[in-house]
A and B are shown apart, each in its own frame.
Chain A
Amino acid sequence: MGFSVEFSDIIFKNQKREPAEFAEIALELRRDIIKSLTLAKSGHSGGPLGVSDIMSVLFFGGVMNHNPQAPDWAERDRFVLSAGHMAPVLYSALARSGYFPAEELATLRKWGSRLQGHPGLDKKLPGVETSSGSLGQGISIAVGMAMSDKLIDKNDRNVFCITGDGEIQEGTVWEAAMSASHHKLDNLCWIVDNNDCQIDGRCSDVMNIYPLDTKFASFGFDVINIDGHNYEEIIAAFEKFKANKGSGRPTVVIAKTFMGKGVSFMHDQYGWHGNPPKPEQAEQALSELV
């Protein structure tokens, strides 16, 4: 059975919003994720659904300074998706911001597409700041960007970066943490998507990552623990990060999330890390995402 869907052409503005306003945006992102992955017939469902609420606040809540009409605007804040496999949520956020037409989401992972399975800078998709996908590297890229902004250009730009929680099992992530703290990168906001799921199971079973907050605190971070699906807490976390500028300490937001959030049969199921929905599963998922 074929799967045919339409992508809406709705665009959301990036502006300060009441917490309740983000629900509608996050739903749109989640619908895009389900549709594009089903058409792609491969890819990662769970993670992108889990960070959709955070991405909604980041891209559409006036948190990040960015301009879809001028992707290379020199004063923009930058976003690095270190967990590159979560690309579908990034592509959706960019399309819904107006960087490119949402219908292009249907080309995800296909030959000739700018929407690579993991973000590829060489494909020049507007809004993509770096290639990512080899876990652990994006956060070091973000550190390099933040060093360039704060220590060389001495400007007010911010760098936001999302890593997975399984991702922080990569040793280089802690090299990055050390350097962010050493160089006093209070312009760096690191979000750890703490869904406690990775391909083989619970993070604590595959390779224990806990405790997270004291670990980051001991590396010199200001640690903010939030429920990654609570818009008030997400907004407050980013406000705190901005208020923290000048402190000389980088910020980490440890966001407790659920893999597959919003789709009942994917909720908190690590088996949905790296699989796309089948067409009938997509129908059900979309019927829930209203």
Chain B
Amino acid sequence: MKKYELLGNKPTRHGFGEGLVALGEKHDNVVVLGGDITGSVMTSLFKDKFPERFFSLGIAEQNATTVAAGMALSGKIPFFSSYSAFAAFRNADQLRVSVCYNNANVKIGGGHSGITVGPDGATHQSLEEVALLRALPNMTLVVPADFEEAKKATIAVGEMFGPAYIRFGRPNVPMFTDENSEFVIGKANVLTEGNDVAIVAAGLMVWEALLAAEQLEKNHGIKARVINNHTIKPIDIETITIAARECGAIVTAEEHQVYGGLGGAVAEVVVKNAPVPMEFVGMPDIFGASGEPEELLEKFGFTWKAIYASALKAIERKEKSTNDIRKVTDIPKYFENM
């Protein structure tokens, strides 16, 4: 199995900030709207470099999102960034009507996402926005796994046309992709080869999936296919369907509620094209609480260990259900003709 080295630790929000500067250098019509917390979401890098293309709009996410739509309808490529807790739900109606229905070329950077915002507590631990965003027609939704990928994703969404949301986080997270790693919107990356179980992950859970795969092989000889599903919408139907057919069992892992997120998106594909047992690693329909990020990841089960246990369970179900499927195919002929 291919091994991935830990190349360092950096927050994905730094990738977003640096990606924005790179975009700004390349495209004159890229502009950034500030929602007061520019240092936290790293749009401050763009503000320092291109002050004439940075506009402060204060703590008013609904207005900022809609102003961005007005700018997009004037040929600009506006990025608005705030914490995911306020950049997806607070402005949901604005995203729906002014951004997505208009198919306006607006880009939203959702920072401080997930449980890893830590001590700020449940109000700020945004674990639901993927469910909301992926229900919006015209929306593209990317959840990068590490610093380099966040940078590439930022540039990629800036250079595509249409509404897009990038979800990134606050703390340092393991870096395992580099400048040369492939990143194409809508194309999931198969990181390890294996046919026993597929682990489809996004964000910081991709690294945990790699750790889980290593342990599964070491302890059980299980070969897991780890898929970095950085684009939640449009979902990569082909890669997921092939994984379901060839592996026969799937585990999804995300720093999000188990309902409606990556797990839901993958399940929709699997149920339609190749139904196989699935297990879901994510927040179990509860709110978070204050604590250090590492501590919260452990307590709420955002770890390789949770993925590992889910993989064993999915494989067990696959072996069981294979027998069940055989039984069903033994049904009398006349049923088949109905």
Contact = CB atoms under 8 A, between A and B. Distances in A.
B53 to A, nearest CB: 7
Given A145-B70, A147-B67, A175-B63, A131 B97 contact: yes
Nearest to B70: A144
Interface of B: 31, 53, 55-58, 60, 62-63, 66-76, 78, 93-94, 96-98, 101-103
B74 A130 contact: no
Contact of B98 (A141, A149, A178, A182): A141
Given A122-B101, A132-B97, 9 more contacts: A131-B98, A133-B97, A140-B70, A143-B70, A152-B53, A152-B71, A172-B63, A175-B62, A182-B58
A178 B60 CA distance: 10
A1 B49 CA distance: 68
Interface in A139-162: 140-149, 151-153
A133 to B, nearest CB: 7
A145 B62 contact: no
A130 B98 contact: yes
A148 B98 CA distance: 16
Given A134-B93, A183-B55, A141 B66 contact: yes
Contacts of B56: 182
Interface of A, secondary structure class, is helix
Interface string A164-187: 000000011001101100110000
Contacts of B68: 144
A183 B71 CA distance: 14
* Most-contacted residue by chain B among A133, A141, A171 (CB, 10 A): A141
B101 A131 contact: yes
Contacts of B97: 131-134, 137
A179 B101 contact: no
B55 A151 contact: yes
B112 to A, nearest CB: 22
B63 A179 contact: yes
A134 B58 CA distance: 22
Contacts, number: 104
A23 B14 CA distance: 60
A143 B103 contact: no
Given A131-B101, A134-B93, A152-B31, A144 B69 contact: yes
A140 B74 contact: no
- Nearest 9 pairs between A and B by C-beta? A144-B70, A140-B66, A175-B63, A148-B74, A144-B67, A175-B60, A141-B70, A172-B62, A145-B70
B232 to A, nearest CB: 23
22 contacts: A121-B101, A131-B102, A132-B97, A133-B97, A134-B93, A134-B96, A134-B98, A137-B66, A137-B93, A137-B94, A141-B66, A141-B67, A141-B73, A143-B63, A143-B70, A144-B70, A145-B74, A147-B71, A148-B71, A148-B75, A175-B62, A182-B56
A168 to B, nearest CB: 14
Contacts of A145: 70-71, 73-74
A146 B78 CA distance: 14
Interface centre among B69, B75, B98 (most CB of A within 10 A): B98
Contact of A144 (B58, B73, B101): B73
Contacts of A140: 62-63, 66-67, 69-70, 94, 98
Contacts of B76: 148, 152
Contacts of B58: 175, 178-179, 182
Interface string A25-59: 00000000000000000000000000000000000
Contacts of A122: 101-103
Contacts of A133: 97
A151 to B, nearest CB: 7
B291 to A, nearest CB: 33
A129 interface: yes
Contact of B66 (A146, A152, A153, A172): A172
Contacts of A101: none
A120 interface: yes
B82 to A, nearest CB: 13
A163 to B, nearest CB: 13
A151 B67 CA distance: 13
Instruction: Select the residue from A129, A137, A144, A145 with max chain B CB neighbours within 10 A.
Output: A144
B36 to A, nearest CB: 13
B104 to A, nearest CB: 8
B35 to A, nearest CB: 11
A266 to B, nearest CB: 29
Nearest to A146: B70
B46 to A, nearest CB: 14
Nearest to B74: A148
A121 B102 contact: yes
A173 to B, nearest CB: 9
A130 B102 contact: yes
B60 A142 contact: no
Contacts of A182: 56, 58
A280 B71 CA distance: 45
A144 B71 contact: yes
Nearest to B137: A122
